[in-house]
Amino acid sequence: MSKSTRTPAAPRRLILALGLLLSSGLQAASGPLLSQQQLRQTPEHQVSAPPASMALAPSTALEYAREVAVALHSDHDGRWQQEGDQAVWRLILRSEDALSLSVTLDAMQLPAGAALRLYDGDGLLWHGPHGAIELQRHSRYYSAVVPGERLLLELSVPWLARASTALAIRSVQHGFRDIRPGFKSGSCNIDTACSAADAWTDAVRATAMITIANRRICSAVLLNNSRQNGDPLLLTARHCGVGQDELPASSVRVYWNYESSRCGGSPDGSLSQNQSGSTLLAEGAAADFSLLRLDQTPPAFYQVYYAGWDASGLAPTSGVSVHHPSGDEKRISFFDTPARARTANVDGEPVESWEVRWSRGITEAGSSGGGLWNSDHRVIGQLSGGNSSCENPDGTDVYGRLDVAWQESSRPDGQLKAWLDPDNSGIRRLDGRDSAGGGLNANADSYSGLPADSQELRLDVLANDGGALPLQLIGAAADSGQIRIEEGRLVYRFAPAAQRDVLSYEVVDRWGNVQSATVSVSRADPVALPERGGALAPWLLLLLLGARCIRRR
């Protein structure tokens, strides 16, 4: 059984002139711009062309980026500047024709108070701030993706800690498949924003897209355990490659709530809710499963769901699968005829699986690892492969069976039981549980010190709000400037000569609950920022002393 991959058709640290952040650190994705002056002052490094070969272990998991080795360091590349009481280092990476860029960092020596932010080539903040603890949790740090062929790294540290700060860029990942919202998957896929998915909201919230070493995409599902203690256990497919030499579990980045806001509407999902790092707990070839423990519990305002599961081995008569086909926003597929147990030959390897024929929807490359849910809303397997497609809707897909993975090996690192039932209670079925989040929560935002040369600002206020997704903006107003809603963001212009404004907006969640929140914005006059090299001039040092950024699916 084979399946071809589909080729795609084609923030929030605000930099003050003297460096002050007043907005929430949880906000990410599109937001205000760096000033054009700051962009012009940032050195640019041209990344060499990526190799034609992936040079990864054989797999048919969805590849989206190629890796280019580099040897860049904050001591001799980029540019340091003093901005208020902060030392700020910036460097632009450019890889021609890249659809997205990400980086692998190592050799980090970061003080408390360090913050890394990732911008695109236009100075639009996509991810951050990331603190020293997160960045240095493992020997290498794999960043989130930024769209386009230019990526701006910004590291800020307390000025007095500059001399003891270091950061190295080990490699750059050049995206050749678009990971941004778009029509990459087949049109017969069903958005989880559609009413057909309303009964499966918990399954939707438990499902995530994952990237591995910023080179592969798969789907995954968050599982509950018998202690029901919120242990962040993530199930995916073994063939995705987590744990291989070049694809360590620490390189896994999880993107939550990446879904469209409207059924059948233009793709507008946000990649802002993400987290990095995991540990591989167990895996098995017979059921094609890998179980990971995330480095951190997903933040409460992500409002994820810990899925229930069924390892009894009872064949499901109906149910769904939730997944990310071709790296697109979340989709849902339905089956209403009984699945059958079979040993499937998936890319030459036997997999003990549930074979499913869909009544609506399909799966694609990138859907690998997405959970199969029975009619009791419990996970019974994860996607291994298949031949369904929009051109072949009657094709079948196969899911590695949870009951086989339960004790596939007698060792803890080869079974699910040791982790899903750590107290050996003997249960084989468990209901899901909600995370700590709950209810609609529209949070006030503050953007202070916007660059005076900024024009139209795109504010991703929803990235800091919580509630039953999808959240949608339904109204907005400004005291003096111009404001509109576009693709789930506030698009704002200051009134002539205005230095500050107060915006308001209303947001509605999946169930029709409505809340309002305010956004305060202000801007500062541009100020020339002093350049700082590797060493202080003697006169500047004295001044400072005085004064003090089936193919596998």
Nearest to 498 by CA among 518, 515, 478: 478
523 DSSP β-pair partners: 450
Report d(CA 367, CA 457) in Å as an integer: 34
Report d(CA 424, CA 227) in Å as an integer: 10
If you write DSSP's letter for every residue of 192-258 in order, what string do you get? TTSGGGGGGHHHHHHEEEEEETTTEEEEEEEE--TT-S---EEEE-GGG-TTBTTB-GGGEEEEES-
Check: CB of residue 92 under 8 Å from CB of residue 101: no
Report d(CA 318, CA 465) in Å as an integer: 34
Catalytic positions are 239, 288, 368
Nearest to 198 by CA among 354, 377, 329, 366: 377
CA distances from 145 to 24, 103, 243, 302 (A): 21, 8, 21, 19
Beta-carbon contacts of 299 under 8 Å, excluding residues fewer than 6 positions away, are 26, 273, 275
Longest dimension (CA), the chain: 80
C-alpha dihedral sign at 39, 43, 48, 50: negative
Beta-carbon contacts of 445 under 8 Å, excluding residues fewer than 6 positions away, are 23, 24, 27, 459, 461, 464, 517, 518, 519, 520
Nearest to 142 by CA among 299, 254, 258: 254
Report d(CA 463, CA 442) in Å as an integer: 10
What are phi and psi for residue 310, nearest 5 degrees?
-140, 110
> How do 44-46 and 331-335 pair as beta strands?
unpaired
Looking up tokens 């360590």 gives: 248
